[in-house]
Structure formats: C-alpha cells, structure tokens
Amino acid sequence: MTTLGELDAGDSARVSGYAIEDAAYRHQLLALGLTPGAQVDVVRLAPLGDPLQLRVRGSMLFLRRSDAAAVVVEKL
C-alpha cells in the first residue's frame, strides 16, 4: 500500500482509496478531486519537501504530506 504522501516529484499514481475512517475528512478529499480512479501527478515539492504540488484532473492542488498520507494510490 502506497500513499500519496510517499511519492516524489515526477511520480504519477491513480487514487485507489483512503487510509482514514473520518467521513467528513474523506468528503473534503473528494471535493478536491481526489476520487477513486483519478490520476495524480506530483509536479514538484517545496524546498523542504512539504507541501506537494499536484496535478489532478487538469487543476493544480497543494497538499501537506500529512494530508496526502490519507490517500492510498497505485503508482503508475
């Protein structure tokens, strides 16, 4: 099991699920476009490695690694 928070710049992955039980938090991730099956590309990392700049469904998204760790992905 790999999480979005473990990926590096240049990696691509597909969202397969969530590593959290909190339905409200999962709803926030869904609202950001991190739905199962969505492709996520890690564009770059901040100088200290946090946050991640992601491309999801044609939009740019910035997530802290701690938040990204809640998203389970399959590396492409």
Is residue 73 within a helix (H) or strand (E), and if so which, with residue range? strand 71-75
Global pTM reads 0.84
What is the b/e burial string over 28-62, where b = at least 16 CB atoms within 10 angstroms of the residue's CB?
A: ebeebebeeebebebeebeeeeebbebebeeeebe
Number of domains making up the chain:
1
Residues 34-55: pLDDT tens digits? 999 999 999 999 888 789 999 9
- Residue 1's pLDDT is 80
For 67-73, what is the mean pLDDT?
92
Report whether 10 contacts 39 (CB < 8 A). Answer: no
Spatial separation of the C-alpha atoms in residues 22 and 43, rounded to whole Å: 28
Q: What domain range is 24 assigned to? A: 2-75
What per-residue confidence (pLDDT) applies to 49?
75
CATH assignment of the domain containing 61: 2.30.30.90
Q: Give the tens place of pLDDT for each residue, 10-41.
A: 999 999 999 988 888 889 999 999 999 999 99
